[in-house]
Structure 1
Amino acid sequence: MSRTEDFREVADRVWHARRSWCDVGVVLVGGEAGLVLVDPHGSAAAGRAVVEDVRRLGVGEVTAVVTTHWHVDHTFGTVAVTDAYGAVPVHAHEVAADELAAGADRLKARYATDPGDPHRDDVLATEVVLPTHTFSSATVLDLGDRVLELVHPGRGHTAGDLVVRVPDADVLLAGDLVEESGHPAYGEDCWPLEWPRALDLVIGLLTPQTVVLPGHGAPVGLDFVQEQRAAIGVVAETVRDAAGRGVPVSQALASASWPYPAEALEHAVRRGYEHLPRSQKRLPLL
């Protein structure tokens, strides 16, 4: 009997699994040189469950890890992979590597303050493995009979987002630049005004047939990404409009209509105001 978390082949030697914790998408890409595991989940325990499922799939050994950004649900499981397969290279954008090094203890501290979180103890017990291989704009992983392209499209969900393109299979792993199981996550480290441009670059990598694997949720296609980009663009332009009209940041959410629930956009508005140049902001109206 298959489980909801099992890997499913969505294209030639590309397997996708939706893990129940946060509906995180974990992806395997296979080639002659082995398997690349992308986003090995959020704790050592969760990562071990991923490794068990990789071994159950029986398609090879993991020879590299890629993390699409630095957040806990995509990176903390890496230690389970290195425990199981040895010191495999761990690839990430250079900024994501710096953010994880600087912020891992802060992430753990947040879990420590929430004794009701069912994953709290697992997260706190996890040894964080930092990326060993970083890049600034783009790089290629050679799997022998195919290559993976790692591309930093710009700042959006975080400053160190990357996407993974599998050209021969027409698959793109979007990380949390695209989310299907909920609205895009605007966190404390988001770049709301630059996110639309990052998605424009991502869209330029897609064809009408591309299978897009989001950071959370089910596979989607070009139309979905274009629709999400449009809504993210509305968020950016609404922030610019409010600031340009002199609306105080504390009143911005109530002053306009938004494509997503206002309670999900607190950080988007605050960060947007912070990132706007002085020339695009009027003094607050009194």
Structure 2
Amino acid sequence: MPDFIEVAPRVWVAHYEWMHVNIVLVGGSDGLLMVDTHGSAAQARVVADDVRRLGAGPLTGLVNTHEHWDHHFGNATMVEEFGEMPVHATDWARDHVEESATRTFEHYAQIGDDPRREEVLATTLHLPTHTFSSAVQLDLGDRAVELIHPGRGHTAGDLVVRIPDADVLLGGDLVEESDPPSIGDDSFPLEWPTTLDLVLGLMTDRTVVVPGHGQVVDKAFVQDQRVDLGVIAETIRDLASRGVPQSEALAQGEWPWDPRLLESAVRRGYEHLPRSQRRLPLV
């Protein structure tokens, strides 16, 4: 059973084996803020029990770092277990939760042998209630927490959470440790590196960084991941500028990660390139 581990004063992280998801609690004199809520109602009940076992105070607010299901399918359970509370997200994430969840439900409905199928399909959506476009500060009583939309990357609606007095940054899926970040069909691979530049600007050399998935990392780890994402973006631009068609890009590029992880990255990158950066192949 995961424990909430205090990684900085009144900042606790629990790492759950399914999908290597991290759930974070930020404590203030007014109560606890939970960042992300896991991927099903059943798993959220486990998280709720872990919160009670920690005994650090009442849960008074939720944050969803983006619209993907593994970060918000526990919202309804948290409200059922702890009472009504604000659920914070970016405007984009709130507006696309239902569309993203529909794809997840359709996927799980079509597969019959996944052990998590029934619990995912049994989940009820609870949409974010408080949204913002650029940045907002939350008052936890004796400390302030900042929610910042640094730009597009993993999705168009990513946010990071900065806890200035503890020098902690929660990166959502803009930063992942358990696997390379997922560059999916709703990602922005050409913009992700500059988005991470802004995120890095929020850090000091001592910042504790909690990724959406995997173990706690530091600024150097994020810098390395930014370099890899930058190489991917520049490789896409270079290949397109030399007239390499999208269908041949994975084979011709020199990639920092397994090319099989980059099919969506290349497709999305080619889609997002301005016409002036694409050269038609010579015939």
Provide the TM-score with structure 1 as the length reference: 0.97
After TM superposition, give the deviation of residue 116 of structure 1 in Å: 1.7
CA distance in 1, matches of 2:244, 2:222: 31
Aligned length: 283
Is 1:162 matched up with 2:162?
no
Alignment of 1:133-282 (within 5 A): 133-282=130-279
CA distance in 2, matches of 1:244, 1:104: 36
* Partner residue of 1:62 out of 59, 64, 67: 59
What amino acid maps onto 1:7 in structure 2?
F
* Partner residue of 1:93 out of 90, 93, 96: 90
After TM superposition, give the deviation of residue 103 of structure 1 in Å: 2.4
CA distance in 2, matches of 1:20, 1:245: 43
Structure 1 runs, 4 residues or longer, greater than 6 Å off: none
Local SS of the residue matching 2:32: strand
CA distance in 1, matches of 2:12, 2:96: 28
Local SS of the residue matching 1:155: coil
CA distance in 1, matches of 2:282, 2:98: 41
Q: Which runs of 5+ in 1 are unaligned?
A: none
RMSD: 0.8
Provide the TM-score with structure 2 as the length reference: 0.99
What amino acid maps onto 1:53 in structure 2?
D
CA distance in 2, matches of 1:196, 1:103: 24
Q: Deviation digits for residues 70-127 of structure 1, max 9, x if unmatched?
A: 1111110111101011221100011011111222222110111112221111111100
* Partner residue of 2:43 out of 46, 53, 60: 46
After TM superposition, give the deviation of residue 130 of structure 1 in Å: 0.5
Is 1:82 matched up with 2:79?
yes
CA distance in 2, matches of 1:180, 1:16: 14
CA distance in 1, matches of 2:165, 2:219: 17
CA distance in 2, matches of 1:213, 1:284: 43
What amino acid maps onto 2:218 in structure 1?
G
* Residues 62 and 86, structure 2, Cα contact 8 Å, conserved in 1: yes
Aligned-residue identity in percent:
60
CA distance in 2, matches of 1:37, 1:284: 51
* Residues 69 and 100, structure 2, Cα contact 8 Å, conserved in 1: no
* Partner residue of 1:73 out of 70, 73, 95: 70
Q: Which runs of 5+ in 2 are unaligned?
A: none
Equivalent residue, structure 2, for 1:18: 15
What amino acid maps onto 1:242 in structure 2?
L
* Residues 247 and 285, structure 1, Cα contact 8 Å, conserved in 2: no
* Residues 248 and 285, structure 1, Cα contact 8 Å, conserved in 2: no
What amino acid maps onto 1:236 in structure 2?
A
